[in-house]
């Protein structure tokens, strides 16, 4: 290769430029909507393609696969799934305030079930989409740009008649930024738009007399009305929304709590999550008011029924649902859209202003195009009227001419050379004709029946209409007030035909106050077997089954039902678990795996000690690691409420071998993998903080490590078996910490 063709550049600069180009492409051309029509490129291209294919609201449905394939081939060179998903969302009335596509078939549901494959579903445009988004595209109202391979033209933006960004909202994740705009009521948005047009200095507070707040298709109740002004002023904030709950009387004096509307963020899989959360409240004994829960939702709407006990405090239970489940949720608002080719966070007034400015631009282009057509029509009409007055002369010119060009030259320029006239007067009159090029063509193309009296009258009437249109169009283009009135009239027509009542209630809701019923404190016994299954039983049950309980379980200890238990593992982690989260019941119940109620992972860790947190406060703990690091830690350091904390610091590659509560132990015996035993007094182990590594317990060989740790009391002999040989630990030679120990010969 010729060296002159090699461009040397800094790698980091290439990466930086490439990433910025990629980021801007995602921001501008994929993830964020345009403030003018409120559509992302994939939505705009899909709607335009349906318009081009003629899949109108008043024509038969067409297969979604046809629409997706055509859009992908002509305008959107990305995956078919992204196009189909955009199409699906535009059909879903539970996601969009005003659906733009009319879907036929399974397009998913509010509970999160996906749409059928595109080969099974059919779609066509909604009437409002045809009239308010795609009308007048033939009147040069927006710019058309080349598609990806420059074989087609596509609109840079659709001439949307309404502030669709507010009406339908939008959600999208770009690179380094995201948009989240709630849907609003069409009537209210149109009223606010008209109010802005009448007074461009209107404030956000005044606009909110019209737009009360978001209007979610799922209904619900917005409960932070006072915070909405700042959200709509800045374009960012959090909207708190609750589901609608009704109380119904059931058989036997019971009460049913019926959820008829859900918060917008609960759409999809979060409905089943809500049901499981409510069931978990009963399972974990957070409430004993629930008798049954059922999801009776259908095409008619949401209906989740929670059956309560007779003596249940319904108001308190409702507040518990708001606090403990997603029946009360937040919708994060970030009104980010593309304005003038760049991403911008806008308040409601800025969005309406951008849309109104766009409307004036669209109307100006529309009426300029219409005016040009009417002026052209006027020119031809005036030529035909003039021709009717001298029709005998024109017929004479036609009969005396050799070809069309000769006639045309006479009509336009008065040239009479070569034309045979009946009289000199006719020739003189012909020389005075001054038709325009277009008028001459129209005369030559005119049919004889146009000379009938009624046809001439119709032509005169048509000319009057043309003159009226020209006057009207000139007035609209010359006077901003006239154009504003045209825009407002169109908005009124859309409001009248497509407006619907508000679904979401906006109010200042009271904070949900839930009083947890205090559990009567009592002592229970915690039982954990060697497989990590844990449960609690009351003390009398334990006493009756003491022998079996001690034999079948690895850890058995008393604790308070209001307290916590601590689990120490070989990775140096401490996991705390609320005793109230553990199943309490019969002795023969299996219990629950520790994994289910903590962050402990049975696949990656081993439990070395389980104990009551309140007991640990009374004692100290001894830690010993594989690399022979020892320390004593005050149990009070583990009086934490976090679910997971580091119980000790470990060197790289080290792990904890033993954790014990220090009670009557007098000597510690470290046993290594190569058979070295070292016994020394427990007092030699210094007390450290839990964040310390500790001190060395014994000197290890290059490939040796501590395998087991034993503790002895002076008065009691302890014998262990090591590789088939019995070792009396108390008779081992006493040494000092950090010694090498003695090797047991096999």
| Beta-sheet pairing, 533-538 with 523-528 | antiparallel
CB-count exposure of residue 676 (10 Å: 0-12, 13-18, 19+):
buried
Compute the distance between CA of residue 342 and CA of residue 352 in angstroms, rounded to an integer: 17
Torsion sign over Cα 725, 726, 731, 734 = positive
| Beta-sheet strand order (sheet of 170-173) | 170-173, 178-181, 328-334, 236-242, 221-222, 505-506
Are 97 and 181 within 8 A, CB to CB?
A: no
Sorted by sequence, the CB contacts under 8 Å of residue 21 that are 6+ apart come out as: none
Q: Which token pair is 204? A: 């956000």
What does the chain come to in residues?
746
Compute the distance between CA of residue 493 and CA of residue 156 in angstroms, rounded to an integer: 26
Q: Which token pair is 182? A: 């709630």
Half-sphere exposure of 378 toward its Cβ, with a 13 Å CA cutoff?
A: 14
Q: Which token pair is 574? A: 């401490």
Catalytic entry in 120, 514, 710, 711? 120
From 561, 542, 661, 560, select the one nearest 614 (Cα to Cα): 560
Gap between the terminal Cα atoms of the chain: 73
Compute the distance between CA of residue 225 and CA of residue 238 in angstroms, rounded to an integer: 11
Torsion sign over Cα 57, 63, 64, 69 = negative
Residue with tokens 């470990």: 650
Compute the distance between CA of residue 456 and CA of residue 389 in angstroms, rounded to an integer: 10
Sorted by sequence, the CB contacts under 8 Å of residue 369 that are 6+ apart come out as: 139, 140, 141
Compute the distance between CA of residue 382 and CA of residue 29 in angstroms, rounded to an integer: 49
Q: Which token pair is 494? A: 């859309």
SS3 letters across 393-436: HHHHHHHHCCCHHHHHHHHHHCCCCCCCCCCHHHHHHHHCCCCC
Are 532 and 595 within 8 A, CB to CB?
A: yes
Q: Which token pair is 358? A: 């766009």
> If DSSP codes are grouped into helix, strand and coil, which group holds residue 470?
helix
61 an active-site residue? no
Q: 10 Å Cβ neighbour count for 64?
A: 27
Helical (H) or strand (E) element with 223: none
**Which amino acids are annotated catalytic?**
120
């Amino acid at each position: 290769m010729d060296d002159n063709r090699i461009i040397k550049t800094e790698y980091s600069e290439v990466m930086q430029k490439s990433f910025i180009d990629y980021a801007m492409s995602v921001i501008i051309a994929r993830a964020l909507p345009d403030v003018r029509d409120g559509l992302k490129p994939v939505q705009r291209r899909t709607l335009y393609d349906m318009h081009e294919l003629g899949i109108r609201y008043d024509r038969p449905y067409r297969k979604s696969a046809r629409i997706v394939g055509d859009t992908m081939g002509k305008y959107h060179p990305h995956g078919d799934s992204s196009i189909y998903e955009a199409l699906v969302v535009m059909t879903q009335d539970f996601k969009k305030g005003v659906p733009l596509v009319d879907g036929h078939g399974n397009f998913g549901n509010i509970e999160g079930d996906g749409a059928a494959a595109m080969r099974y579903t059919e779609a066509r445009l909604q009437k409002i989409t045809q009239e308010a988004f795609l009308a007048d595209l033939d009147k040069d109202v927006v710019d058309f740009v080349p598609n990806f391979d420059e074989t087609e033209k596509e609109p840079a933006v659709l001439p949307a008649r309404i502030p669709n960004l507010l009406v339908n909202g939008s959600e999208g994740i770009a690179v380094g930024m995201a948009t989240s705009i709630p849907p609003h009521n069409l009537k209210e948005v149109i009223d606010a738009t008209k109010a802005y047009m009448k007074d461009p200095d209107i404030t956000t507070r005044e606009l909110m007399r019209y737009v009360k707040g978001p209007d979610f298709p799922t209904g619900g109740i917005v409960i932070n009305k006072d915070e909405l002004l700042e959200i709509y002023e800045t374009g960012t904030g959090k909207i708190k929304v609750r589901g609608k709950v009704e109380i119904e009387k059931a058989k036997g004096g019971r009460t049913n709590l019926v959820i008829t509307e859900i918060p917008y963020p609960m759409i999809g899989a979060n409905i089943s999550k809500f049901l499981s959360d409510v069931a978990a409240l009963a399972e974990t004994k957070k409430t004993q008011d629930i008798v049954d829960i059922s999801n009776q939702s259908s095409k008619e709407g949401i209906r989740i029924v929670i059956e309560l006990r007779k003596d249940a405090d319904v108001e308190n239970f409702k507040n518990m649902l708001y606090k403990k489940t997603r029946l009360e949720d937040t919708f994060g608002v970030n009104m980010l859209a593309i304005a003038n080719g760049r991403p911008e966070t806008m308040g409601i007034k800025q969005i309406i202003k951008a849309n109104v400015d766009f409307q004036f631009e669209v109307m100006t282009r529309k009426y300029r195009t219409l005016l040009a057509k009417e002026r052209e029509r006027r020119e031809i009409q005036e030529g035909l009227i003039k021709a009717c007055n001298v029709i005998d002369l024109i017929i004479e010119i036609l009969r005396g001419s050799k070809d069309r060009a000769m006639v045309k030259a006479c009509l336009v320029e008065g040239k009479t050379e070569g034309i045979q006239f009946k009289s000199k007067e006719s020739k003189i009159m012909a020389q005075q004709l001054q038709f325009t090029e277009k008028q001459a063509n129209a005369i030559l193309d005119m049919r004889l029946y146009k000379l009938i009296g009624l046809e001439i009258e119709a032509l005169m009437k048509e000319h009057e209409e043309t003159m009226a249109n020209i006057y009207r169009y000139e007035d609209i283009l010359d006077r901003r007030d006239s154009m504003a009135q045209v825009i407002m009239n169109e908005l009124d027509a859309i409001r009248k035909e497509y407006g619907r009542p508000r679904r979401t209630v906006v109010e200042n809701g009271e904070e949900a106050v839930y009083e947890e019923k205090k559990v009567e404190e009592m002592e229970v016994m915690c039982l954990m077997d060697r497989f990590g299954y844990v449960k609690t039983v009351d003390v009398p049950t334990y006493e009756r089954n003491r022998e079996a309980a001690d034999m079948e379980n690895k850890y058995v200890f008393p604790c308070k039902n209001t307290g916590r238990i601590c689990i120490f593992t070989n990775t140096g982690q401490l996991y705390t678990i609320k005793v109230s989260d553990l199943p309490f019941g019969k002795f023969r119940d299996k219990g629950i795996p520790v994994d289910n109620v903590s962050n402990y992972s049975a696949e990656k860790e081993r439990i070395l000690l389980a104990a009551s947190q309140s007991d640990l406060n009374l004692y100290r703990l001894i830690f010993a690691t594989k690399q022979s690091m020892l320390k004593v830690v005050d149990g009070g350091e583990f009086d934490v409420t976090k679910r997971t904390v580091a119980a000790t610091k470990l060197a790289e590659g080290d792990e904890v071998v033993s954790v014990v509560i220090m009670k009557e132990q007098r000597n510690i015996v470290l046993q290594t993998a190569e058979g070295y035993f070292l016994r020394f007094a427990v007092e030699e182990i210094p007390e450290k903080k839990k964040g310390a590594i500790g001190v060395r317990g014994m000197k290890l060989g290059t490939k040796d490590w501590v395998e087991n740790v034993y503790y002895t009391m002076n008065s009691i002999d302890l014998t262990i078996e090591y590789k088939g040989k019995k070792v009396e630990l108390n008779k081992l030679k006493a040494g000092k910490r950090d010694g090498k120990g003695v090797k047991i010969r096999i």
